[in-house]
Each structure stands twice: as structure tokens, then as C-alpha cells.
Chains A and B, each alone.
Chain A
Amino acid sequence: MIDQELKVSLGVDSIRDDFPALHQEVYGRKLIYFDNGATAQKPQTVIDSINHYYSKENANIHRGVHFLSQQATDKYEQARRTIQSYINAPREEEIIFTKGTTDGINLVAFAFGETLHEGDEIIISAMEHHSNIVPWQMVCERKGCQLKVIPINEKGELKMEAFKELISERTRLVSITHVSNTLGTINPVKEIIEIAHKNGAKVLLDGAQSIQHMKVDMQELDCDFYAFSGHKVFGPTGVGVLYGKKEILDSMPPYQGGGDMIEKVTFEKTTYNVLPFKFEAGTPNIAGGICLAKSFEYLEKLDITLVEQYERHLVEYAEEKLLKIPGMRIIGTADNKTSVVSFVIEGLHPFDIGTLLDKQGIAVRTGHHCTQPIMEEFGIPGTVRASFAFYNTTEEIDTFIQALERSINMLQ
């Protein structure tokens, strides 16, 4: 009953019509796409805008005197404002276009990293994606900083008491995932940000797994940096955004040198452009930026609170059914989580399960999900991960459970 009510209120049937990739067969079976944590499918409006851009609007931006260049520049800058408005960032120059979350984190790791000194500390957590571990290890190596790691409990939640002990006046940055890609845990980021700020540390949120599931408001969160990827939020690949507070971005040196990021170049001295261009060297992913705005226009039309409720319902429905399967162990049972369910089945390899689900038309992710430290923590080689979006349904979950049971029978 709740299922049908939520489904009708959100308009899931018509939403599904907007995503052409959902309507196809693989291996002669109807595709069920449960790998949204890896990348999300695109609505027709985003796909059409890519086609339209290259058919009619393609031009380089920020420097042309001609019509197409001016038009593309306007659209690209309008896209920046659309995104600024969606995440409620105070200023448009705080929206920096990147290649994606990894690129955004690396930008901060390099440029903010340049302001760090020997003995400074950076705090991350045990549930970070490799993208939010390795750039900081590189900074630590370069600048002689220390990396501290917040441990997690058996439910896959941060041990906040340990965090309070780790943070000190030496902490310059806390770089933490908003939502875990493997466990689905929604971290108490507001509390983390408050504690960090009291200690004079800045906070970067890895938003790769949060912005598509919930309302993110930069002013309400008060984070210093927030990085996300376009392709996980129903937009194109190869484009993403780094939000950063203006005064901090201003204090950081440029990340890459090249065109667009300069004010004046001479062989004696080059002066840099203002934000956001200081961090956008070279011709950017123009089509990516413009078309990413289309995915936010699409999201704007949905009621994000209903999306959250519906996705919560999907994951609870899936977990209830999964737990009836003998030998089932769900990895990541945080009280507060998004629509991700990672699991292992006693005696069976995730790779085998993933392969058999694939042959039944069901796309899931298997392996360590670029979070090897989590796998070590739970003592497992990997998991099967089903990650849902608002276009998935409980009917699809029923088919998935049947396919999973069939796979288990075959493997045992």
C-alpha cells in the first residue's frame, strides 16, 4: 500500500519513461539496472541537450567575438548558476567545473595542500573511497603532514567519539564522505563540520553519493568544500563540480596552468584570473557543463523529500527480502542510510553471484568498490552491491530476489 502510494505520488511510471536506457533487454531478459552507485542513467532531456549542443551550439567559450561563442559562454555560465542555485551556494564563482569528484578532491589536495606545513594533520575516515584516501596520502608525502583515520563500528557508522579525540589544533582539514558508496551510511556531517570548525579545521565533503539522493544545501551544511560527479546525478560523464568557499579558494594557488586561468602572461610574471576561472585551465567540458544543468533542471521538477522516502522504502523492502535468504550478511546496517545494499552470502563468491545476476539481466556491482580498507575491516574479499535510484521499483526488487535465489541454488 505504502509502496503504491509513494510510487504514484512520485510518478515513478512516468519517470521511467524519461530514461530510455531502462527500456531494453540484455541476454534476452528485461534489464534491471541496480548499479546507480557506479553511474546513473540519463533522462531524455539530458541526452537531447548533448545532441543539440553538438548539432547547433558548439563553439569555444569565454574568448570568441562571434555569435555561437557568445551563446555557448552564456549557456555555460547559466549552467554554473543553475548548479549554484540547486546546492544553494552563496556565489556563482564558488562553483568550479571539474572532471568529477576525483578531480575536485585532487584540486583541493594540491591547491589547499600547498598551504599546509610539516606537522599539520588531515583527518579522513575508514569508509572513504580510494579517491578520498590516495590524494591525501600524496599531500602527506609531499608536505610532511600526518593522515589520521576515523574508525567505523560494525554497523558501518563513524565512531564519533574517536573523531573527537583525533581532532586537534593541528588538524587543518577533515575530508569525509557524505554518504558511503559501499555501505550507504549517511554520515553526521553537520556535527562533523561544527566540531571541525570549532577546532579551526576546514571540511571537504565527498558528495559523489549524496547529491542524487537528498537535498544538499551549502549554506545550511556550512562545509568548506563539496565535490560531486555529473554522471552520478543523471548528467554526462567527464564533468563534475567542486564547490568551495570564496575566501578559501582565493587563498589557494592555482592547480593547473594554461588558458582561461590567467589575467596577464609575460615571461617575467604571470598574474592569475579571478574565481572560478583561476581553477579552470584550458577549454573546459563545455557540453558537459551545459548538459549537467539539464539534469539539475530535471531534478528540480521532482520532490526531493518524496525521492528520499521512496528510495528509503526501496532499500528497506530489499533488505527485508534479502534477510530471508539463508547465509545472508548485509554489510552496512547504519541507522541512517541511502538506497544502497551491500551483501555477502556465506560460502559464495560475490563475483559468481554478480555474473549469474548479469546473465539474468540484472546489473549490480561486485568487488571492493574502491574501498579496500572497508573490506579489510569486515574481513571479506568484496560484496555484491545493489544501489537504487528513484526510477527503480519494488517489482524489480522482486525479480532480483528471484534471480538471486536461482543463482544461489546453482552455486551451492
Chain B
Amino acid sequence: MTLEEKQKEIIDEFAVYDDWMDKYEYIIELGKDLPIIDEALKTNDRIIEGCQSKVWLDSKFEDGVMKFTADSDAIIAKGIIGLLIRVLNNEKPESIATCDLHFINEIGLQEHLSPTRANGLASMVQKMKLSALKAISN
């Protein structure tokens, strides 16, 4: 599945919810299901401090693709991280660096990725893209 197809798939999954609470119920379930980051990787250099919640992100470049694991102390943030990882994991760094994550807007979660939201998610996306760029330049 291409990065674009994965975004489309998520948009379709969310299309069935017309109530905000149902949408969030789903995000929370995703957050609960997310394989959390290896505790040993929850180090200070992997932390993204938000004003409200913390995010840990680990990125690797392996076999020509990027591998991400992440976690957050807030479960809604974790659910959204799950969606971002689903879209970006195992993708070529070139695709990650240039992609437009439009699905976030289309499923109505843009507020969480606003830099002013201060939950660490906007910085997380930025870090994912930067690590992809680093993989390209290496």
C-alpha cells in the first residue's frame, strides 16, 4: 500500500463516525492497541516536550525504509501517533520528507497538530521528517 493509499484508508475508516465522541473513542482504542516504545528507548534524547503532554519518538533507517516507534503519556496523543506511524512506517525517506499528511485535516484532528496546541505532536511530525531527510543525506 502506498503512503497515499494508507491516508485514504484512514479517511474511509473515520468517515463512518459523524459524532465527535465516537471518533475519539476510536482514537483512544488505537492508542490502547499501539505497541508502545521499548522502555529502554524512552530516554531524554528521544523525548519531545510539549507543554501539555510528552511524546517519545525513536526513528531508524533500515533496508531503505524508515522505522518509527513512539509513545506518549496522554492516550489521545498516543492514538494520533498510531495513525501517523501507520502512514509513515516502512516508507522510503524521500516519500516521508515530501509527503503532505492531509488525512489529519480530513478526519478533523488538525487542532492536535497545530504548533500552538503544545502537545508535542507537531514537533513529532517535524522530527519524523527531519530524520527522513537525515537518512537521505547519509
Contact = CB atoms under 8 A, between A and B. Distances in A.
B25 interface: yes
A98 B73 CA distance: 39
A391 B117 CA distance: 28
Given A349-B73, A367-B52, A381-B73, A410 B25 contact: yes
A355 B51 contact: no
Interface string B60-95: 000000000000011111000000000000000000
A108 B89 CA distance: 54
A359 B17 CA distance: 14
Interface in A359-373: 359-360, 366-368
Given A349-B74, A381-B73, A355 B24 contact: yes
A352 B52 CA distance: 10
A54 to B, nearest CB: 28
Most chain B beta carbons < 10 A, residue from A351, A360, A381, A382: A351
A162 B113 CA distance: 45
Given A349-B75, A351-B119, A381-B73, A360 B21 contact: yes
Contacts of A367: 51-52
A351 B24 contact: no
B21 A359 contact: yes
Contacts, number: 42
B28 interface: yes
Nearest to B21: A359
A27 B20 contact: yes
A192 interface: no
A351 B21 CA distance: 15
Nearest to B119: A351
A355 B54 CA distance: 15
B53 interface: yes
A411 interface: yes
B20 A351 contact: no
Interface string A378-397: 00011000000000000000
A80 to B, nearest CB: 35
B20 A359 contact: yes
Given A410-B28, A411-B75, 12 more contacts: A349-B73, A349-B75, A350-B52, A351-B52, A351-B74, A352-B76, A355-B24, A359-B24, A360-B21, A368-B51, A381-B54, A410-B21
Interface of B: 20-21, 24-25, 28, 51-54, 73-77, 119
